[in-house]
Amino acid sequence: GENVEQHPSTLSVQEGDSAVIKCTYSDSASNYFPWYKQELGKRPQLIIDIRSNVGEKKDQRIAVTLNKTAKHFSLHITETQPEDSAVYFCAASPPPPLSGGYNKLIFGAGTRLAVHP
């Protein structure tokens, strides 16, 4: 089955710096790669996602890149702010058995990002 590895496990940056989190996946058939942000005691919230037919996607200060050949994808946060501090999870989804939708996500172990003022 699919296996997702995420690095680093912790990341500390100064406010205004960039942060990069990397993930690798094992199943070349996986075709959907979301990123979730989880603050302490709160639900995981989707911040950005990318599909396998796209190499890069941006949303304001957040971008995700996907390299299907190497089976890795990365989250880039620019101009970090203290409110970016949280645990970030990458995930990969193998194609569903039925047409339509994504039936499950396989998550990485998470990266704890600390942004210091």
Partner 1 sequence: DTGVSQDPRHKITKRGQNVTFRCDPISEHNRLYWYRQTLGQGPEFLTYFQNEAQLEKSRLLSDRFSAERPKGSFSTLEIQRTEQGDSAMYLCASSEDRVGSPLHFGNGTRLTVT
CA distance 47 to 70: 23
CB closer to partner 1 out of 15 and 109: 109
Residue 54 half-sphere exposure toward CB, CA atoms < 13 A:
13
Q: How far is the CB of 22 from partner 1 (least distance, A)?
A: 15
Binding mask 67-106 for partner 1 (x = CB under 8 A): ----------------------x-x-----xx-xxxxxxx
Report whether 75 contacts 35 (CB < 8 A): yes
Q: What angle do CA 18, 36, 28 make, to 5 degrees?
A: 95
C-alpha dist (Å) from residue 38 to 11, 30, 43, 56 = 15, 23, 6, 23
CB closer to partner 1 out of 62 and 106: 106
- Which region among 14-22, 62-70, 72-80, 107-115 touches partner 1 (by CB under 8 A)? 107-115
CB closer to partner 1 out of 80 and 111: 111
Q: How far is the CB of 19 from partner 1 (least distance, A)?
A: 18
40 near partner 1, judged by CB under 8 A: no
